Amino acid sequence: MSESRAQRPRRFLVCEPRHFAVQYAINPWMQPDKPVDVDLAREQWQTLIRAYRDHGHTVESVEPVPGLPDMVFAANAAFVVGGRVFGSLFHAPERRPESLHYDTWFKTAGYDVYRPESVTEGEGDLVWTGRYVLAGTGFRTTREAHREAQEFLGHPVIGLTLVDPYFYHLDTALFVLDDDNICYYPEAFSAGSREVLRRLYPDAVLATRDDAMAFGLNSVSDGQNVFIAPQAEALAERLAGHGYAPVPVDLSEFHKAGGGIKCCTQEIRS
């Protein structure tokens, strides 16, 4: 029998895909010779924003900047817990200028922003569980950045090693359902990291490679509703069986750049 779940209103920061394109290849999904339908991408993105607002969440926007096609992936620009903003230092030179624009938004909004010295890609690899930070490494964010995050945030940081290049960010292989549980694809992680996750979350919802390849783990949960790619139908059914309410939102144009719902969504935790 499924359990009753409790929703908690969230505050999200996003960036309109006005200049979205696949102009370079920095992950296995990106193929510059396959064009992006920018009008469709904007329509899909607007559907996501409406879904968030329809479910009671607050959505704020950063102004997109010409020449930064991946700026739409707001999650990668920072990690915010308790009003503390841990900024980003992107692995790819093409994305490094994005940090300045997000830092400026946060500073204008009254936040202090920590500038990391080590490569770190915000909520792409730093995931808040309500008690500690799960932190990915292996492709983008470095272990030294995990140490920096712990020192700045004052919360325990638990490092997890990613081993599959298709799941180069932690948020493509794992997402938090609520304060007690997560959903993840075990084979995206090293053997030791899988064991850590088993110990921390013995009742986790487990995903398959098909679920992960459909961007089913690049989802956003508010504790009750799970905003999820409709292509991940089997995972949505599994989540419904655990008492969560799947909210399908198609961001298939963004999959061409290796991103999805969570990539487009930065959560501001004041």
**Residue 264 annotated in active site:** no
Q: What is the residue type of 127?
A: V
Q: 157: closest CA among 178, 136, 171, 188?
A: 136
Q: What is the residue type of 193?
A: S
Q: What is the residue type of 258?
A: G
**Residue 263 annotated in active site:** yes
- Number of Cβ within 10 Å of residue 56's Cβ equals 12
DSSP string, 221-232: E-SSEEEE-TT-
Angle at 207 between CA 204 and CA 209, to 5 degrees: 150
Q: What is the residue type of 257?
A: A
Find the catalytic residue in 15, 169, 255, 264: 169
Sign of CA pseudo-dihedral 251, 243, 195, 134: positive
Catalytic residue numbers read 169, 263
